Amino acid sequence: MDDLTRFEILENMGFEEDPFKKEFLTADIKRIRKLIKPIIKTKAMVSIIGNRGHGKTTAVNDALNHANATKITIETIDKRRLQSSDIEYSLILALSDEPPKQMKEIRARQLRRIIGEASKQNIVLIIENAHRIHPQTLLCLKDLKELEWMGESNLFSTVLIGQSDPLKKAGLSEVFLRSDAIYLQGLSTEEISGYIQATVGKVFTEKAIMALADREENCNYLDLQQSIYTLMNRAIANGKDKISVNDVKSVFGIPDRENAKGNTKPKEKEENRKTSGNNNLRNILNLKETETLQATGTDGI
**With bands split at pLDDT 50, 70 and 90, how would you rate the model's confidence at 167?**
very high
CB 211 within 8 A of CB 175: no
pLDDT tens digits, one per residue of 57-75: 999 999 999 998 999 999 8
If you write DSSP's letter for every residue of 141-180 in order, what string do you get? Answer: HHHHHT--BTTB---SEEEEEESS-GGGSTT-HHHHHTSE
pLDDT of residue 284 exceeding 90, the answer is no
Q: What is the pLDDT at residue 77?
A: 83
> Residue 81: how many CA atoms within 13 Å on its side-chain side?
4
CB 132 within 8 A of CB 80: yes
Average pLDDT of the residues in 36-62: 94
> Residue 54: how many CA atoms within 13 Å on its side-chain side?
23
Q: Which domains does the chain have, with CATH numbers?
A: 6-22+187-290 (1.10.8), 27-183 (3.40.50.300)
Rounded to the nearest 5 percent, the helix, strand and coil shares of the chain are 55, 10, 35
CB 178 within 8 A of CB 43: no
Q: d(Cα 109, Cα 218) in Å, to the nearest integer?
A: 49
Closest listed residue to residue 96, CA positions, set 75, 122, 117, 82: 117
Q: d(Cα 84, Cα 76) in Å, to the nearest integer?
A: 12
pLDDT of residue 263 exceeding 60, the answer is no
Residue of higher predicted confidence among 289 and 157:
157
**Checking DSSP bridges between strand 157-162 and strand 180-183, what pairing results, if any?**
unpaired
Residue of higher predicted confidence among 255 and 150:
150
**With bands split at pLDDT 50, 70 and 90, how would you rate the model's confidence at 299?**
very low
Q: Which of 85-99, 129-143, 147-161, 242-256 has the lowest mean pLDDT?
A: 242-256
pLDDT of residue 287 exceeding 70, the answer is no
**With bands split at pLDDT 50, 70 and 90, how would you rate the model's confidence at 269?**
very low
Q: What is the pLDDT at residue 80?
A: 87
Instruction: Specify the pTM.
Output: 0.80
Average pLDDT of the residues in 226-254: 93
Buried b (16+ CB within 10 A) or exposed e, 46-70: bbbbbbebbbbebbbebbbeeeebb
